Amino acid sequence: MPHLSFIIPAYNEASRIAPSLEKAREYFAAQRYTTEILVVNDGSSDDTSGVVSGLADVRLIEQPRNMGKGAAVRRGMLEATGDYRIFSDADFSTPVHETARVLARLEGGVDICIGSRGVDTSLVKKHQPWYREKLGKMVNIVVQTAFIPGITDTQCGFKGFRAAAAKAVFSRAQLNGWMFDLEALYVASKLGLRIEEIPVEWYNDERSTVSFRHSWQILSEIFSIKRLHRTL
């Protein structure tokens, strides 16, 4: 059983996942603990599978069709075998070396450790366009008011879980879309799991597709979370 599972959800990432995987393989090869790298291909229409399948030390998991990032992360978390499990965006907006800080907190006893752009904004090395930062602030107002007070950034795509916490949370999670992170943290808080938010280095990738046109979908997902988990 590996010490760490590092999970990367991927949808049409053939053009940029190879450099990310090269960085991950190099980083983990230098660590003293054992690691499995999992890529969950979310029904890509490009050659993401071909790029990943050529790497003997990377485990490829194929979704039957494009189901959404939340579904890909959920499957990766539940099929991983590591004592600790971290998921990361394929573009490595948060560099892989931030694994050290997240893993240290998990090994220290927290159930869930989440990377954040809000705790120390000086670590945001390349900002999003103003309208996406505005959307993020609007989402956070709702989060702070109605879901998880005290967490400044639920949407940074770099989060770690102890194995038991991953199983407890993702066996209950249901959202496949943009707000699966918030759902996971909300479920964790209802289960009484210990969540810690830490600052991480972060670089915006211009190819990200979230914009104001997704606002209604995002709000719809946010307000479905309590309904989906009202019995917790």
* pLDDT per residue as tens digits for the range 83-136: 999 999 999 999 999 999 999 999 999 999 999 987 667 767 565 565 566 666
What phi, psi does 187 have (nearest 5°)? -60, -45
Residue 161 structure tokens: 């879980």
| 86 DSSP β-pair partners | 6, 160
- How many CB atoms neighbour CB 123 within 10 A? 16
Which amino acid does the sequence have at 205? D
d(CA 106, CA 101): 9
C-beta of residue 75 within 8 angstroms of C-beta of residue 43: no
Smallest CA-to-CA distance from 87 within 169, 192, 208 is with: 169
Question: What CATH number is attached to the domain comprising 102?
Answer: 3.90.550.10
Q: Structurally, how many domains does the chain consist of?
A: 1
| 174 DSSP β-pair partners | none
Check whether 210 has a pLDDT greater than 70: no
| Residue pLDDT, tens place only, 43-96 | 999 999 999 998 989 999 999 999 999 999 999 999 999 999 999 999 999 999
C-beta of residue 51 within 8 angstroms of C-beta of residue 14: yes
For the chain, the first-to-last Cα distance in angstroms comes to 31
What residues make up the domain containing 88?
A: 4-228
Percent of the chain whose pLDDT exceeds 90: 70
Q: What is the pLDDT of residue 120?
A: 66
Q: Which residues fall within 8 angstroms of residue 114, CB to CB, at 6 or more apart?
A: 151, 153, 154, 156, 158, 159, 160, 185, 195, 196, 197, 198
Per-residue confidence at 212, pLDDT binned at 50, 70, 90?
very low
